[in-house]
A and B are shown apart, each in its own frame.
Chain A
Amino acid sequence: MLKMTHLSKVYRTEVVETYALRDFNIDVNEGEFVAVTGPSGSGKTTFLTIAGLLETFTGGTYHLDGVEVSKLDDNARSRIRNEKIGFIFQAFNLIPDLNVFDNVEVPLRYRGMKAAERKQRIMESLERVGLASRAKHYPAELSGGQQQRVAIARALAGSPRLLLADEPTGNLDTQMARGVMELLEEIHREGATIVMVTHDPELAARAQRNVHVIDGQVVDLAEDPRFHAQVQAGRVNI
């Protein structure tokens, strides 16, 4: 489903090159639920933005659903984002001027879907996250947990092949976080591929597989001396 090989992302200035990802390799199979963990600044979010085609990469290859994406133009990348990827962000990122219904509708609008089908999909998604009765509410009228559920409904409305979640419970209290996590697990059980970046060891433990990133590389925790050094320095959560 998602395969990165020797992928690198370099930020260059006139005097310095900074590697956000270096020789990054990952292979996520269809239907997997993978948690990506690592310390702050390790490159987790950079990986997620490249995986979601929101950023380009400097070297290596990236195949998404069998398509090598490095040569695609903006239109093609946007179309893939719209049709194959669903995003769930830590900050929910709902559009404050749009009500719940209209927020969930956004990706469907860009797909050029007819109004009747849009409405059906929106209501199905909202029912799935338990918020069909709040369709006319605005984000400011909802709790954090409810907003994240709307964001999940928005991600699900387009029936994406891949769900990318960046700290999906980071802004929620424990009870709300549990609810959101249970929802993600349910979605996974129904066949979705989920890649979730998280700091939370409890959440990571609920994924099928954990991938650890340190200094822009995927590492095997047992064998990597950098991990042990960082554990000793108290910089690693897992």
Chain B
Amino acid sequence: MFGYYLDLALRSLRRNPALTGLMVLAIAFGVGASMTTYSVFRAVSGDPIPWKSSRLFVPQIDLFGPTAAAKTSNEPQDLVSYKDALAITRAHRAHFQSAMYNIAPSIDPASPGSRPREVMGHAVQWEFFPMVDAPFVYGHAWSADEDAAHAKVAVISSRLNDRQFKGEDSTGREIILDGKPYRIVGVLDHFTPEPLFYDVANRNFGEPDDVFLPFATAIDAQSTNTGNYNCARSPLEEGFSGTLTAECAWIAVMVQLDSTADATAYRQWLDGYTDGQRQAGRFSWASNNRLRNLPAWLDFKQVAPPDTKVSLLVALGLLVVCMVNTIGLMLAKFMRRSGEIGVRRALGASRLQIAVQFTVEAAVLGFTGGLLGVAMTWIGMTAMRAVLPEDIAALARMDGSLLSLTLCMAVLATVVAGLYPTLRATWVRPALQLKSN
């Protein structure tokens, strides 16, 4: 029977092309607008590592005291000092932990004659890779021993591997970063999380990391921090070594805690650590620490810009307006067919069969509107690049899931919009229609 209803729906849509066109346009416009804004919202608000985000935590320590904290609603700094980063990671109180900071070394080109170029990256500890479940296409992460030995090793992205080594297995080969050679031990397999959840205090979106170096090695090499750098007071010592001893926040820390009990114990340890620092005379204020899991941290950092949420609501409002228009048009279309409904009822169609016939018609209409809506979403994404920041707009991509979601949304919204017109169609009294004809 479904094929029969489908055939009737297609005949009905062809019968009045102008009215059908209006409805399809209304659906496409509403769906296109909402899916365009949703594509951005999805990218910025999605969970980048849903299978373990609740087990990843960001510890925060109040480095600057209550006067500075009062300006930020008593919130401590997002980053920690080098001294605290070392203390936290060396204590090894979590399943995995890593200190990290932003680097942007210059890489020598693969072919002679080309110019060196800057690549984005992070200095991290070996536990970073298993903690964030980084996938490898070649090789693996460096080892704890290599970390301890300050080995000159590197993990690079598949993108950089394609550029430098034409996608071949480059493990064991060397790259030159800031004039120093590093042996490649691993190549990541398209590891481009959005947002860049392991260091949102410095970078949310934009260029993915192409290179990862051991934290201690990068410190030895005095690789410059290209992320944020906030100090309560000027460092006592000039230069890179001054940044290591200063009360400055510039290193991100992430830890993996596998249970609530682990998290509670870790928080107690963190408070104990800062209490110890106070007793040692380093801090003059009570512990003001935080330990947020990743979803809470992304929310706290407002990784999803508030204006994208507003845009999404406005777009959904527009979809509702378009659907209300569609309800009116469908009602007019269905009621014009009261005579046909009366005949079908007289010939044996039940109310349910009439309802199914018109619901299928609404679904076909929605699918057609959805196809045009996909085109409108693509146009919307192109137009959005003109109004949104480039790094945010670049996130909006038409992929398979967005395509299916657009079509499903169009069909579902139209079927819902068609409920009332369909209900009215089932109320048609055949006796009146047949006589009036």
Contact = CB atoms under 8 A, between A and B. Distances in A.
B364 to A, nearest CB: 15
B339 A93 contact: yes
Interface in A50-105: 52, 54-55, 74-75, 78-79, 81-83, 87, 89, 91, 93-95, 97-98
Contacts of B437: 89, 91, 93
Contacts of A137: none
Contacts, number: 75
Contacts of A87: 346-347, 434
Contacts of A111: 348
Tell me if B's interface is mostly helix, strand, loop or mixed. helix
Contact of A93 (B15, B343, B350, B353): B343
B431 A83 contact: no
Nearest to B342: A93
Contact of B348 (A81, A93, A97): A81
Contact of B343 (A45, A75, A106, A109): A106
B419 to A, nearest CB: 18
Interface in B1-26: 1, 4, 11-12, 15
Contacts of B4: 109
A174 B11 CA distance: 36
Interface string B322-352: 0000000000000000011011111111111
B430 interface: yes
Interface in A205-235: none
Given A54-B345, A74-B351, A97-B12, A45 B1 contact: no
Contacts of A75: 350, 352
B339 A78 contact: no
B434 A91 contact: yes
Interface string B393-437: 000000000000000000000000000000000000111001101
A93 B341 CA distance: 11
A154 B344 CA distance: 12
Nearest to B354: A78
A56 B294 CA distance: 64
B347 A154 contact: yes
A83 B348 contact: yes
Contacts of A166: 434-435
Contacts of B351: 74, 78
Contact of B347 (A81, A91, A97, A112): A81
A110 interface: yes
B97 to A, nearest CB: 66
B437 to A, nearest CB: 4
Nearest to A87: B346
A55 B432 CA distance: 10
B348 A79 contact: yes
A49 interface: yes
Contacts of B344: 95, 106, 110
A149 to B, nearest CB: 16
Nearest to A86: B347
Nearest to A111: B348
A107 interface: yes
Nearest to B353: A110
A74 B12 contact: no
Contact of A54 (B1, B12, B353, B430): B430
A111 B340 CA distance: 18
Contacts of A45: 431, 435
Contact of A78 (B342, B350, B431): B350
Interface string A12-48: 0000000000000000000000000000000001000
Given A93-B342, A97-B12, A112-B1, A106 B434 contact: no
B435 A107 contact: no
A82 B347 contact: yes
Interface string A94-137: 11011000000011011110000000000000000000000000
Interface of B: 1, 4, 11-12, 15, 339-340, 342-353, 429-431, 434-435, 437
Q: Which 7 A-B pairs have the closest CB atoms?
A: A82-B348, A78-B350, A49-B431, A91-B437, A110-B348, A107-B347, A54-B431
27 contacts: A45-B431, A49-B431, A49-B434, A52-B346, A54-B434, A74-B352, A75-B352, A78-B349, A78-B351, A78-B353, A81-B346, A81-B347, A82-B347, A82-B349, A87-B346, A87-B434, A89-B434, A89-B437, A93-B339, A97-B15, A98-B11, A106-B347, A107-B347, A109-B1, A110-B353, A154-B347, A166-B435
